[in-house]
Amino acid sequence: EARAEGGPLADKVVEQVTVMRDEVDRYLDRARLATDRKVIGAVADVRRSLEGLSRVLSRAYPDRNLHLEGEGAGHPKARIERRDLEELVGNLMDNACKYGREQVRILLSIDRTDRDRPMVEVRVEDDGPGLPPSAYAEVLGRGKRLDEPQPGSGFGLAIAAAIAGTYGGSLGLDRAGLGGLAVTFRIPLS
């Protein structure tokens, strides 16, 4: 809007936004480098983290039914620092609670189709409005938001995708069985 308006105040707003974006990029790059150094040997108990996050978010969103599924998966250990796992999955679960209407489902499984690289998979689904597939790539970009009235920076999914990539994992979006958005996080099994 500032670019469209023009004038000294608009120019100052554009200048300050550019400075802030550069700072955010610098801190994200620094965090990524720090994470790269600690990737080797990192191991986290995925179920334990999911259970803890579910307890916290159930209190924060008492009107949402959070349900963790995947008893057959046991307590898989993944190659990721616990804090990074909890930041990543906590962001996904918080988004699902924020945009879901009543239901949030977290599915934990192990994909052993590639014997040389089995993966732990965490799928977070909600019953909210979801997103059109054409918007998936856009919301994974830094600072991209399609919901301006909601609080937040627009960096959550981009940070989650960056953390996943740092550990050799991935993040994908698709339609949830509950009707809203599903975000699937995959990370190598330890």
- pLDDT given for residue 110 in this prediction: 94
Give the integer Cα–Cα distance in Å for 153 and 87: 15
Measured CA angle at 23 (ends 19, 24), to 5 deg: 120
Along the 190 residues of the chain, how does pLDDT read in single tens digits?
Answer: 877 888 888 888 888 888 888 777 776 766 666 555 555 677 899 999 999 999 999 999 999 998 999 877 889 999 998 998 999 999 999 999 999 999 999 999 999 998 888 999 999 999 999 988 888 888 877 544 445 444 444 567 888 888 888 888 999 999 998 999 999 999 999 8
- pLDDT given for residue 39 in this prediction: 57
- pLDDT given for residue 36 in this prediction: 58
Q: Scanning the structure block, which residue is given the tokens 């069985």? A: 177
Cross-strand partners of 121: 109, 186
Q: Does an H or E element contain 104, and which?
A: strand 103-111
